[in-house]
Amino acid sequence: MSVLIYIENRDGKFKKLSYELVSYASQLAKQLNITAVALSIGNVDEAELKSLGNYGADKILDVQDDRLNVLVNKAYTSIIAQVAEKEGADIVIFAHNFSGKALAPRVAVRLKAGVASGVTALPGSLDPFTVQKGVFTGKAIANVVIKSPVKVLTLFQNSVEIIETENKASIEAFQPVLNDDDFKTKVLDVTKVTGKLLLTDAEIVVSGGRGMKDPGNWGPLEELAAVLGGAMACSRPVSDEGWRPHDEHVGQTGKIIAPNVYFALGISGAIQHLGGVSSSKHIIAINTDKDAPIFESADYGVVGDVQKVLPALIQAIKEAR
Ligand SMILES: Cc1cc2nc3c(=O)[nH]c(=O)nc-3n(C[C@H](O)[C@H](O)[C@H](O)COP(=O)(O)OP(=O)(O)OC[C@H]3O[C@@H](n4cnc5c(N)ncnc54)[C@H](O)[C@@H]3O)c2cc1C
């Protein structure tokens, strides 16, 4: 009996989201009085693997194979299903990101499991097993009941606190049974964005909307992002106008992000925009219109001209540092 967590690495390193997943799984395992088992696939060193124990993993299973250093859906699905069967997993947890969304349904089919995707909290009830997820671009919460013996969840970023615990984790190598068929689809090349903080990884995001008025007005936003070590984002009309690149567009039809701090500058706060950012821990808005909908979602707001408020804010941050 166990809760199994698939832990993704990037170039052999785990991301903050991995520790959120382990913290979530370990709390769930405690509620159920079972063990939390973390599974890492691809080449990761021992110190990095051991770090998972700091957040409550009881056991870490390690699958090292050069062919698995990039995501191969079929092979990964097979490995996770094999481990789930070996560990008698009752619950298998993934991150609600690209790989998690690709693997969770495949693994669920293999395990004949029910799936809840984009879960945002620990189960409200264990019997029947009921978890929460946001629906209608975060405007409502659905309670999802999973009745199958094995359950598969994908966890939304920033949904749980990372909790450090005493590290008692053991690390074991796992040898999966794989065949050529599992590698039928090959990733031949991966081109990585370099020199730029990935929007989906950023803890702080500085985002501008149509209220910035002109593509030449983005300097203070870039300066704020640089001062805080954040990433840049924008609303859809801004990228549609070609003021900013399309990969910065957040919202229902763009990237969905959940940073610790989201600056909404000259952004009205339309529901389609909020659909991509409403899971941010803190939203800070600057807008000339005191009735702009963004203020309903913001934790902190300034009613004012972003061109005047932003330089003063940047100056204050620099002085505070
Ligand atoms: C199917 C569909 C999908 C969509 N998907 C998305 C999506 O993924 N992402 C997205 O962003 N939008 C999306 N939209 C568009 C969305 O409905 C809004 O039109 C859009 O988010 C508005 O962008 P904005 O806030 O930048 O601009 P506006 O709505 O024009 O707001 C500009 C804001 O700036 C303020 N302002 C003006 N001057 C200043 C100043 N000097 N200082 C401070 N504030 C100022 C104004 O008061 C205003 O609130 C979608 C729409 C549809 C129909």
Q: Where do the domains of the chain lie? A: 2-183, 204-320
Decide whether any atom of ligand 1 lies within 6 Å of the 292 Cβ. Answer: yes
User: Cα(246) to centroid of ligand 1, in Å?
Assistant: 15
- Half-sphere exposure (Cβ direction) of 151: Cα atoms closer than 13 Å: 24
Handedness of CA 27, 31, 32, 34 (dihedral sign): positive
Q: Which CATH class is domain 2-183?
A: alpha beta
Task: Say whether pLDDT at 192 is over 80.
Answer: no
CB of 268 sitting under 6 A from ligand 1: yes
Our CA dihedral for 305, 307, 310, 311, rounded to 10 degrees, sits at -130
CA distance 130 to 276: 25
DSSP state of 250: B
Question: What is the C-alpha separation between 16 and 21, in angstroms, rounded?
Answer: 9
Task: For residue 286, give both structure tokens.
Answer: 């600057």
One of 3.30.450.40, 3.40.50.800, 3.40.640.10, 3.40.50.1220 is the CATH number of 204-320, namely 3.40.50.1220
Pocket test for ligand 1, best of 241, 250, 268 (most atoms within 8 A of CB): 268
* DSSP assigned state of 193: P
The answer, yes or no, to whether residue 261 has pLDDT greater than 90, is: yes
pTM for the whole structure: 0.80
Greatest Cα pair distance, the chain, in angstroms, is 62
Cis peptide before 128 (omega within 30 of 0): yes
Q: What are phi and psi of 231, to 5 degrees?
A: -110, 160
Question: What is the C-alpha separation between 79 and 182, in angstroms, rounded?
Answer: 10
Q: Whose CA is nearest to atom 46 of ligand 1?
A: 211
Binding site membership of 123 for ligand 1 (Cβ less than 6 Å): no
Asked if 234 and 249 touch (Cβ cutoff 8 Å), the reply is yes
Cα–Cα distance between 274 and 264 in angstroms, integer? 10
Q: Do domains 2-183 and 204-320 have the same CATH topology?
A: yes
Mean predicted confidence (pLDDT) in 117-136:
94
**In this predicted model, what pLDDT tens digit does every residue of 5-59 receive, in sequence order?**
999 998 899 988 899 999 999 999 999 999 999 999 999 999 999 999 999 999 9
Task: Show the tokens assigned to 6.
Answer: 């698939």
Question: In Å, what is the CA distance from 170 to each residue of 19, 69, 103, 122, 131?
Answer: 17, 23, 25, 25, 29
Using the predicted structure, report yes or no on whether residue 195 has a pLDDT greater than 80.
no
| Model pLDDT, residue 137 | 72
Mean pLDDT, residues 125-144 taken together: 90
Mean pLDDT across 273-294: 95
Q: How many Cα atoms sit within 13 Å of 240 on the Cβ side?
A: 8
The CB of 267 under 6 Å from ligand 1? The reply is yes
